[in-house]
Amino acid sequence: MDSIRNTKAIIKRELASYFESPVAYVFMVVFLMLIGFLTFFVSRFYESGQADLRGFFFWHPWMFLILVPAAAMRLWAEERRAGTIEILLTLPVTVTQVILGKFLAAWIFIGLIVALTFPIVLTTVYLGAPDRGAIIGGYIGSLLLAGAYLAVGMLTSALTRNQVISFVLSLVICLFLLLAGWPPVTDLMVRWAPEWLVRGVAAFSFMPHYEAFQKGVLDLRDFAYYFSVMIFMLFGTHLVLENRKAA
Amino acid sequence: MLAVKRLEKTFGLIRAVRDVSFQVAQGEVLGFLGPNGAGKTTTMRMITGFLPPTAGTAIIMGHDIIHEPISAKKLIGYLPENAPVYADMTVWNYLGFIAEIRGFIGRVRVERVQQTIETCRLDTVKHQAIGTLSKGYKQRVCFAQTLLHDPPVLIMDEPTDGLDPNQKHIVRTMIRNMAARKAIVISTHILEEVEAICTRVIIIRDGSIVANASPTELKAKSRAHGAVELTVKSAPGDLVAKLERLTSAARVEVYPPQAAPKATGVQMPRVVVYPRPSAAGAAIAAGPAQLATDILALVKANPGWDLAAMKTLEGRLDDVFRELTESKN
């Protein structure tokens, strides 16, 4: 009971701190404007002659690349910089409760922003008969992808008291994980790395799993992939915090 | 209530805290003194469970901070250095958050927050964002956070640092008022504060405890303890020489008037006679008591000396502090 109450208290505080500063609103406006622009004008939504959201979901991994590390960078770095981590971790809470609370709060925050793209869905439904399964799958995949990015951002935020360093680090790691299965990257490795290593790295990539969801395929293996990335990163965060609380 | 057992902390090659043990009982206010970097903050961080010790532990009312961190942390109120609180939250929301984590829910929580706000005199700013408050208020918000659950053990790292004299007075009064019911540890390097509120003092140097005594006992170790100060209207030539000849006097120092500026009255030279320490089995009688007796007799025998005042000095805490913590070289 205590652990749920503690986690809930942390979630509430974190969410409030997003909305008590202008950060939340800036994020929302920028994300929604950009995703609208990219979907309608760059992906040529109207010219494609097809009422589907492929052009919309195509942009999510790239938009998240900026949005998610930016939303995650303050989670621990700011606590360290301001010293508030010292009070937080001497309260009767476990590190796991705090990590989960912060993670879930940020995930809800990103989820909320993604949910606000609903007018694009309504437009599509109004214009034609899109595949509902693909839309639902697309959103689930998008949220899971955001969660995986977020877990990476948590880890980099725990590593430093500097938000900029956290942002850049998590952007680079996410970008690598995004591109790991992409031919230009694998080609770079093929020249010197053994085949199993190339395949192994490619299998870590976010992309193939994300694309499966877009087709409306809800495969347990894809869920397992995203959740294991999140658990791995959050576990890493736990280790970092236990070992260098005062850094 | 609080037992610190052989705490050790090593950062790489640096031994920040070495074998620190002490106990604090209910009603005690322990002053934790030491120069900057002596290991005060590190020790406090280990007691409160923020840093894991390299060795040793702290027991809070029977709960080991390492093995039962949650039960131990429930009994502690911790005020870290520089009062770190969330700048973007309002005072009310911040204390509400702390209350929730401390296990208060529903109406009890609201009452508890309101009560703490009143105790810490934060009523006028309770709906303001903490970041917009002055340093004194910020410190009080953090203070409120430590007191909210009425913990039996209070650990405070420089609670009056950076406050103005009025604010310092408020904080000290609050600490003194609740001292009887709690075990309190405060770190500070303001020595007047120690004399004002502490019942016991621990001085730490390079990570090790070098003194653990009451402020009075510590002052007794001072060079000036038991020295006799004479304020003379005019100094007859033989005064200093006669004082120096006393067997119980170690040394006589004369301070000209300008060395002792006084706001009122005529400035007069002072003569301070330091006592020779009494040694067991020594042939001659010595020590502070003997010195005072000797000087009194001398003054009576010399009616020509024109004294304005004569008093025995208690000794000074900062002398002892410097002696114990300054490196010899």
Q: Is the pLDDT of residue B124 over 90?
A: yes
Rounded Cα distance between A228 and B272, Å, is: 77
- Which band of pLDDT confidence, cut at 50, 70 and 90, is reported for residue B239? confident
B51 to chain A, any CB pair closer than 8 A? The answer is yes
Are B50 and A90 in contact (CB < 8 Å)?
A: yes
- Where chain A has pLDDT below 70, the residues are 1, 245-247
What is the pLDDT at residue B280? 57
Rounded Cα distance between B246 and B32, Å, is: 39
B16 to chain A, any CB pair closer than 8 A? The answer is no
User: Buried (b) or exposed (e) across A180-198, using 16+ Cβ within 10 A?
Assistant: bbeeebbeeeeeeeeeeeb
Q: Is the pLDDT of residue B78 over 60?
A: yes
Sheet harboring B249-255: ordered strands across? B249-255, B270-275, B228-234, B306-312
Rg (CA), chain B: 25
Chain A positions touching B52 (Cβ under 8 A) are 242
Q: Is the pLDDT of residue B65 over 50?
A: yes
Chain A positions touching B93 (Cβ under 8 A) are 16
In A, residues 51-70, which contact B (CB 8 Å cutoff)? none
**How much is the pTM?**
0.87
What is the pLDDT at residue A21? 79
What is the pLDDT at residue B247? 80
Chain A: closest CA distance from residue B153 (Å): 13
Q: Which of B71, B84, B129 sits opposite A87 (nearest CB)?
A: B84
One CATH from 3.40.50.2300, 3.40.50.300, 3.20.20.70, 1.10.150.130 for B2-220: 3.40.50.300
User: DSSP code of B189?
Assistant: S
What is the pLDDT at residue B329? 43
Chain B: closest CA distance from residue A149 (Å): 26
Query: Which residue is closest to B131 within chain A, CA to CA?
Result: A82
* B270: phi then psi, degrees, rounded to nearest 5: -120, 145
Q: Which of B48, B71, B80 sits opposite A83 (nearest CB)?
A: B80
Tokens of A188: 């770079």
Chain A positions touching B48 (Cβ under 8 A) are 90
Return left, alpha or beta for B194; rule: phi > 0 is left, psi -120 to 50 is alpha, else beta. Answer: alpha
Rounded Cα distance between B285 and B139, Å, is: 53
Query: Which residue is closest to B82 within chain A, CA to CA?
Result: A83
Rounded average pLDDT over B276-286: 63
What is the pLDDT at residue B25? 95
B87 to chain A, any CB pair closer than 8 A? The answer is yes
Q: Which of B52, B76, B88 sits opposite A17 (nearest CB)?
A: B88
CB B303 within 8 A of CB B266: no
Each residue's pLDDT tens digit, B20-34: 999 999 999 999 998
Which of A134-148, B78-92, B189-203 bottoms out in mean pLDDT, i.e. has the lowest? B189-203
User: Buried (b) or exposed (e) across B186-214, using 16+ Cβ within 10 A?
Assistant: bbbbebebbbbbbbbbbbbbbbebbbbee
Chain B: closest CA distance from residue A240 (Å): 13
Residues 6+ away with beta carbon under 8 Å from B92: B113, B117, B126, B127
- Which band of pLDDT confidence, cut at 50, 70 and 90, is reported for residue B5? very high
